[in-house]
Amino acid sequence: MRCNSTGARLAVKDNIASLGSLTTCDSNILAGTAIPFDATIVSQLRSRGFSVVGKTGMDEFGMGTHSTTGARGIVRNAEPLQDFSAGGSSGGSAVSVSKGEAEIALGTDTGGSVRMPAAYTGTVGFKPSYGMLSRFGVVPYANSLDTVGLLAKTVTKIRDLLIGTKLFAEHDHNDPTSLPVSVRQRCTAQRTGYDGQARSTLRGITFGLPIEYNVEELNSSVRDGWIRAAQIVEDMGGRVVPVSLPTTRMALSAYYVIAPAEAASNLAKYDGIRYGRRNTDTDTDAPDGVLYAKTRASGFGKEVKRRILLGSYSLSSEAVDNYFIQAQKVRQLVRRDFDRVFKLSNPLRDEQPFDLSDMDESVVLENKLGPTQVDFLLCPTAPTTPPLLEEVLHQTPLDSYMNDVFTVPASLAGLPAISVPMGLASPAQDGEESKANFGGLQLIGQYWDDARLLSVAELVSRAVDTR
């Protein structure tokens, strides 16, 4: 992290504008770029007594799972886990919190980029409901998915900031995705917890365990930790039931069509003429008539170029119907599945009944009307414990993408989700002496149920963090 000042400490991801600091998205094409104003979220936190202490490393333009694709180099995890992945793409923000360099760190979460680093660094990472926090001053990756997220060592710090200071209520007219005041008030009126009152018990709260999340790639120690966390929740008075989210099996594939497509569109402006640093190594930058080919080739890293190519193809006339349009249909089905399992209705959508023919046969019906509806979903944040950096650097892109399997669905649906540290009781197996003894436990709530989610996560986190 590049340090600038001291005070009530706030670390800012390098794709969020902060006056007095460079904002480069950890990319060569934006090297030396200084945006001459604060992002709205930064100015909001400055007004609450925070002082920016530095900009943090990340995956280039937010595209990555382990914070290894940035132009400034790999983000390394905090002691004593310096050889492990810090998660991505907000790995630098998570490390700044875990090392005690900042009380709160800002990140961005497009498909898990705040929650994944939290799971890998033993910190708390919160992605609020889409449209709650302003994105003005945040360099976009995928507009329909990007969400400003918060990282801290405890849930309490995040809840005190978001709910205690009424940050959730502030609309930003500069951000077209920021929910208007009237809609915020209507949504808040349908929810509890926004008065700042914290829960003291889990009694009366029902948690769902998505059976589709028990995937083959799920590490055995993480699975055991998930089961143990569910038992702890029951011992605390909560009710735990299995639920089915049938379309989530397709969520990851849909995400990696939609996000690259939006990225290809957003990054088209970085050509060295209108935006970005121009390649001046040669007299001309127009081989074969392409004016800015060398600028984009040298300015972007491999992962960014890979996603631009994927996105450009899925938006082409030959592929748009079979890829981008189909992915958007899957996204709506993912959102529908969430709406059907939650007790609370989505305040932005009409309620739809559950089609029992879509439901897994192992899910028990609550009554003749259908299966049990829940308050929150409980699942792992990542399918593995923090992997070694040496392993990560030899992964294929597909292997890295698979790490997002549990975080992507909530992003597609725009729902609030939080990752808290989860101690793992399973002893190390042969050859696993170097594995971390913790993972991330994720709680997902219905849209705009952020206040209650944070209050419940506060209780759960204290019980399951047994490191």
Active site residues: 13, 89, 113
Give the pair of three-digit tokens for residue 166.
Answer: 């009424």
> Tell me, what amino acid is at 84?
F
Alpha-carbon span 400 to 69, nearest angstrom: 12
Alpha-carbon span 197 to 208, nearest angstrom: 24
Q: Residue 46's CB: how many other CB atoms inside 10 A?
A: 17
Residue linked to tokens 């419940």: 456
> Tell me, what amino acid is at 394?
H
Q: Measured on CA atoms in the order 428, 429, 433, 437, is the torsion positive or negative? A: negative
Alpha-carbon span 391 to 155, nearest angstrom: 30
Short-list 387, 365, 375, CA closest to 440: 387
For residues 151 and 171, the answer to whether their CB atoms sit within 8 Å is no
Return the DSSP state at 134: -
Alpha-carbon span 205 to 214, nearest angstrom: 22
Q: 319-341: buried (b, 16+ CB within 10 Å) or exposed (e) per residue?
A: eeeebbebbeebbebbbbbbbbb
Q: Residue 430's CB: how many other CB atoms inside 10 A?
A: 5
For residues 53 and 44, the answer to whether their CB atoms sit within 8 Å is no
Question: Measured between alpha carbons, how far is residue 271 from residues 62, 259, 293, 294, 357 in Å?
Answer: 19, 20, 8, 9, 50
Bridge partners for 239 per DSSP: 206
Alpha-carbon span 136 to 131, nearest angstrom: 11
Q: Residue 24's CB: how many other CB atoms inside 10 A?
A: 25
Sheet harboring 124-127: ordered strands across? 2-3, 51-56, 9-13, 104-109, 147-152, 124-127, 417-423, 438-445, 376-380, 206-210, 239-243
For residues 312 and 151, the answer to whether their CB atoms sit within 8 Å is no
